[in-house]
Homo-oligomer: A and B are copies of this chain.
Amino acid sequence: MANKEIPYKIYLEESELPRQWYNVRADMKNKPAPLLNPKTLQPCTLEELSAVFCTELARQELDDTTPYIDIPDEIIDFYKMYRPAPLTRAYCLEKALGTPAKIYYKFEGNNTSGSHKLNSAIAQAYYAKKQGLKGVTTETGAGQWGTALSMACAYLGLDCKVFMVKCSYEQKPFRREVMRTYGANVTPSPSMLTEVGRKINEQFPGTNGSLGCAISEAVEAASNLEGYRYVLGSVLSQVLLHQTVIGLEAQAAFRKYDEKPDIIIGCAGGGSNLGGLISPFMGEKLRGEADYEFIAVEPSSCPSLTRGIYAYDYCDTGAVCPLQKMYTLGSTFMPASSHAGGLRYHGMSSVLSQLYDDGLMTARSVKQTEVFEAAQQFARVEGILPAPESSHAIKVAIDEALKCKETGEEKTILFGLTGTGYFDMYAYQKFNDGVMGDYIPTDEEIKEAIDRMPKI
CA distance A154 to B183 in the complex (A): 38
Among A111, A112, A383, the one with the most B-chain Cβ atoms within 10 Å of its Cβ is A383
Q: Are A425 and B178 in contact, CB atoms less than 8 angstroms apart?
A: yes
A110 neighbours in B (Cβ, 8 Å)? 110
User: A373-394 toward B: CB 8 Å interface, digit per residue (1/0)?
Assistant: 0001001111111000000000
Min CB distance A122 to B, Å, is: 9
Min CB distance A340 to B, Å, is: 13
Min CB distance A103 to B, Å, is: 14
Q: Are A81 and B422 in contact, CB atoms less than 8 angstroms apart?
A: no
Q: Is A66 an interface residue (CB 8 A)?
A: no
Binds B, one of A3-11, A284-292, A355-363: A3-11
The verdict on A155 contacting B13 (CB below 8 Å), with A8-B81, A429-B173 known, is no
Q: Is A432 an interface residue (CB 8 A)?
A: yes
Q: Which residue of B lies closest to A81 (CB)?
A: B383
Q: Which residue of B lies closest to A12 (CB)?
A: B11
CA distance A379 to B174 in the complex (A): 15
Instruction: From the candidates B177, B182, B431, name the one contacting A380 in the complex (CB within 8 A).
Output: B182
Q: Are B432 and A181 in contact, CB atoms less than 8 angstroms apart?
A: yes
Q: Which residue of B lies closest to A375 (CB)?
A: B181
The verdict on A382 contacting B81 (CB below 8 Å), with A13-B7, A429-B173 known, is yes
Report the contact-size class of chain A (Cβ under 8 Å from the partner): 35 or more
CA distance A178 to B376 in the complex (A): 10
CA distance A385 to B110 in the complex (A): 11
A181 neighbours in B (Cβ, 8 Å)? 376, 379, 385, 428, 431-432
Q: Is A199 an interface residue (CB 8 A)?
A: no
A15 neighbours in B (Cβ, 8 Å)? 7
Min CB distance A83 to B, Å, is: 9
Q: Is A87 an interface residue (CB 8 A)?
A: no
Q: Are B422 and A383 in contact, CB atoms less than 8 angstroms apart?
A: no
Q: Are B384 and A112 in contact, CB atoms less than 8 angstroms apart?
A: yes
The verdict on A80 contacting B112 (CB below 8 Å), with A178-B385, A380-B183 known, is no
CA distance A423 to B175 in the complex (A): 10
A154 neighbours in B (Cβ, 8 Å)? 379-381
A8 neighbours in B (Cβ, 8 Å)? 14, 80-81
Min CB distance A17 to B, Å, is: 10
Q: Are A383 and B111 in contact, CB atoms less than 8 angstroms apart?
A: yes
Q: Are B429 and A155 in contact, CB atoms less than 8 angstroms apart?
A: no
Min CB distance A14 to B, Å, is: 4
Q: Is A420 an interface residue (CB 8 A)?
A: yes
Min CB distance A226 to B, Å, is: 25
A11 neighbours in B (Cβ, 8 Å)? 11
Q: Are B112 and A177 in contact, CB atoms less than 8 angstroms apart?
A: no
A381 neighbours in B (Cβ, 8 Å)? 154-155
Q: Which residue of B lies closest to A113 (CB)?
A: B383
Q: Are B379 and A112 in contact, CB atoms less than 8 angstroms apart?
A: yes
Min CB distance A268 to B, Å, is: 24
Q: Which 8 A-B pairs have the closest CB atoms?
A: A174-B425, A7-B14, A8-B80, A154-B380, A177-B425, A81-B383, A112-B385, A422-B422
- For this complex, 10 residue pairs linking A to B, each with C-beta atoms less than 8 Å apart, are A7-B14, A111-B383, A173-B425, A177-B425, A177-B428, A180-B432, A181-B376, A181-B428, A182-B379, A183-B380
